[in-house]
């Protein structure tokens, strides 16, 4: 598989040019197989997927919106090669509006958005990237949502307009799905997820950035069955977020064996042992990184020797940190301590209290004995 990939990558420039005219059969079947595998379907589904893609006479119109974010998900999107970016943009999807990929700017861009929405009203797929700031900036002219304005409209207005008229809303990346880094404490801009800001139910392809294979598989699922894939309680499709990273981790054997990296750079790290003790959040993170990896199976954090930071989980920056510890710290008034410290203090207090009371009893034995005698006296 790897060799095939490398061969393909070698031929890439030529192939990419050809792909603009028509995709060759080999690439097309490879694409369909990749998608079938990601969706967890067996080989007999490959022809059906091919049929569905071919049958889609009008390619699904996609309006890709950017809100408060770093464009990392678009960066991930344009690094796809199974399918390649050209295939995605021109052959598989009809991306009618994408602020960072389209040539138009200024008023022409605004016009493109208006046209795209009118042409496919109620039929397009809205892909959202980035969180929506809801807070009001300080100052006399501050209005709610003013932290983000595109073409004179606030992020909230834009999101409600575009998502409200879409057939389906797909959030890519953690920001759109759950608010991302900017929604973490103290969250000065009041950033929230798309579904919270608009009230529209969304399908969340979470991650920082999201994995393109998952977003494309979701769109193909939509083409194939006319509906979005089954999602978990957080709106993430189960085909990609139904298992934890830990469940299919290539280092899982070392976890079960009790072989752990104690610190980065030690012998265990060289032998690719489990990163559990240096704070890997794989056991609490739902994602399929461990099976599909990133950048066309090139690598992913744990393969690179760094623990998972749980980027596909809600509020991961707050909940999963510190990233190099197993557990989050407990914030008590004035103190921040680990659960072990709090617990050992408690246990120590109990033991000290018991010892103190035993000493007190020894010193005041008579008092306790008299208590017993009092009873007899009353009788």
Partner 1 sequence: MTAGTSALKGNEEVYLVVRTRSIFACAIHWIVFCSVIVLAVTGLYIGNPTFYFGKGEPYQAFAMADMRFYHFTAAAVLIASFLTRFYLAFTDSCNKDIKQFLPTPRNVINAFKLAFNYGLGGGKHLAYRYVNPLGGIGIFGMIVFITMLAGTGLLMYAQGGNPNSFWYSLCSSLTIMIGGIQNVRVIHHLSMYFLFFTVIIHIYMQIWKNIVFTESDISSIIGGYKIFPYRDIGHFADYYGIHLDDAPPSREEMDRASTPMKDAE
**Which positions touch partner 1 (CB under 8 A)?**
230, 232-234, 238, 242-244, 247, 253-260, 276-277, 281, 283-284, 313-315, 319-320, 326-328, 330, 339-340, 342-344, 346-347, 349-351, 353-354, 357-358, 361, 364-365, 367-368, 370-372, 374-376, 378-379
Task: Tell the smallest beta-carbon distance from residue 289 to partner 1 (Å).
Answer: 16
CB of 185 to partner 1, least distance (A): 13
Task: For partner 1, give the closer residue by CB, 40 or 305.
Answer: 40
Instruction: Identify which of residues 44 and 371 has a Cβ nearer to partner 1 in the complex.
Output: 371
**In whole angstroms, how close is the CB of 331 to partner 1 at the nearest point?**
11
SS3 for 84? Answer: strand
Min CB(12)–partner 1 separation in Å: 37
**Minimum CB distance to partner 1, residue 311 (Å):** 13
Q: Which is nearer to partner 1, 162 or 309 (CB)?
A: 309
- By beta-carbon proximity to partner 1, the closer residue of 255 and 300 is 255
Closest CA relative to residue 168, chosen from 218, 209, 211, 214 = 218
Looking at the Cβ atoms of 63 and 274, the one nearer to partner 1 is 274
From CA 205, how far away is CA 174, in angstroms rounded? 8
**CA separation for the pair 367, 173 (Å, rounded):** 70
Bridge partner residues of 335 (DSSP): 332
Which CB atom, from 175 or from 309, has the smaller least distance to partner 1?
Answer: 309
Is the Cα torsion angle 293, 294, 300, 304 positive or negative in sign?
Answer: positive
Nearer to partner 1, 104 or 346 (CB): 346
Please give the structure tokens belonging to residue 220.
Answer: 């193909």
Distance, in Å, from the CA atom of 219 to the CA atom of 92, rounded to the nearest integer, reads 10
- 209: region left, alpha or beta (phi > 0 left; psi from -120 to 50 alpha): beta
Q: Min. distance of Cβ 272 from partner 1 in angstroms? A: 11
Nearer to partner 1 by C-beta: 298 or 352?
352
Q: Which residues contact 70 (CB under 8 A, 6 or more apart)?
A: none
CA dihedral 243, 245, 279, 180 (to 10 degrees): -80
Least distance to partner 1 from the beta carbon of 88, Å? 28
Contacts of 247 (CB under 8 A, 6+ apart): 290
Contact indicator for 209, 73 with CB cutoff of 8 Å: yes
Judge contact between 136 and 178, C-beta under 8 A.
no
Least gap, CB of 67 to partner 1 (angstroms): 23
Angle at 213 between CA 242 and CA 324, to 5 degrees: 60
Q: How far is the CB of 126 from partner 1 (least distance, A)?
A: 24
Q: Which is nearer to partner 1, 83 or 268 (CB)?
A: 268
CB 32 within 8 A of CB 50: yes
Q: φ and ψ at 150, to 5 degrees?
A: -125, 120
| DSSP 8-state symbol, 165 | T
Q: Decide if 123 contacts 59 (C-beta within 8 A).
A: no
């Amino acid at each position: 598989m790897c060799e095939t990939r490398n061969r393909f990558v070698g031929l890439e420039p030529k192939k990419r040019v050809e792909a603009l005219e028509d995709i060759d059969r080999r690439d097309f079947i490879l694409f369909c197989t990749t998608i079938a595998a990601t969706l967890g379907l067996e080989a007999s589904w490959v022809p059906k997927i091919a049929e569905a893609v071919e049958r889609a006479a009008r390619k699904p119109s996609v309006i890709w919106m950017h809100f408060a974010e770093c464009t990392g998900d678009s960066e991930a999107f344009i690094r796809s090669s199974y399918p390649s970016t050209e295939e995605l943009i021109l052959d598989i999807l009809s991306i009618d509006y994408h602020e960072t990929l389209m040539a138009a700017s200024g008023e022409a861009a605004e016009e493109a958005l208006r046209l795209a929405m009118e042409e496919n009203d109620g039929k397009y797929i809205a892909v959202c990237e980035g969180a929506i700031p809801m807070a009001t900036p300080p100052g006399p002219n501050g209005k709610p949502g003013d932290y983000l304005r595109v073409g004179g409209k606030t992020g909230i207005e834009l999101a409600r307009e575009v998502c409200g008229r879409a057939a389906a809303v797909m959030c890519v990346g953690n920001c759109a799905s759950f608010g991302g880094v900017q929604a973490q404490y103290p969250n000065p801009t009041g950033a929230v997820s798309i579904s919270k800001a608009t009230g529209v139910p969304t399908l969340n392809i979470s991650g920082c950035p999201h994995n393109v294979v998952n977003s494309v598989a979701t769109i193909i699922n939509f083409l194939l069955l006319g509906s979005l894939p089954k999602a978990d309680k957080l709106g993430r499709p189960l085909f990609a977020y139904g298992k934890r990273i830990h469940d299919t981790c290539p280092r899982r054997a070392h976890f079960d064996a009790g072989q752990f990296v104690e610190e980065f750079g030690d012998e265990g790290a060289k032998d690719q042992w489990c990163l559990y003790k240096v704070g890997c959040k794989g056991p609490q993170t739902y994602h399929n990184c461990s099976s599909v990896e990133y950048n066309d199976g090139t690598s992913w954090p744990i393969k690179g020797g760094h623990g998972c930071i749980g980027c596909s989980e809600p509020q991961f920056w707050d909940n999963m940190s510190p990233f190099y510890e197993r557990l989050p710290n407990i914030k008590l008034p004035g103190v921040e301590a680990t659960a072990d410290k709090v617990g050992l203090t408690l246990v120590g207090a109990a033991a000290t209290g018991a010892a103190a009371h035993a000493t007190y009893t020894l010193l005041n034995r008579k008092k306790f004995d008299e208590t017993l005698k009092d009873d007899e006296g009353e009788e």
